[in-house]
Chain A
């Protein structure tokens, strides 16, 4: 099993550009999450999903959209990137509400 994978690993964007981060899990987990990690801030929940076709806002959802069309995939979109979205993005999945399994992260730089 690959566990949780994230694509791409690193990306540089210009302000105003759009992009989609892909998260895939092969553990048949119901729950999936997107976090961002910034220095001194820990991990902050952006959006999450409790099952295929469902999404919900987390702690810092502004500027991001998500979709969960297939159970194994959770996409995070940035419609118009801003420098404040420079961060490391982590995806996670979980079979129930508690323990989460994280991907390796995507490093995003917005110039």
Chain B
């Protein structure tokens, strides 16, 4: 049973380029979350998506960042015109449900994409 898949695992971009990070949730999971872990900082929520819907993007920077989860294919986190401060580990998590006070909202994390901006 495959877990959450993310690719690429490592991504190097020069300032001003675009970074595109992909995430496929666990089988049977329809809720996807993106988190960012900056060097020496904790994990921070960015965005929560379901198929074709952005439910909560309150943790995403207002500019340059966008996310989608199309009907077909993986969820994409897109960072335009990257800057050095975007260098971080980006983790995707998925769960079978959300908002319930039970095991259905347990979030399982993928291996992450480590973005380095030169």
**A-B complex is real:** no
A interface list, Cβ under 8 A from B: none
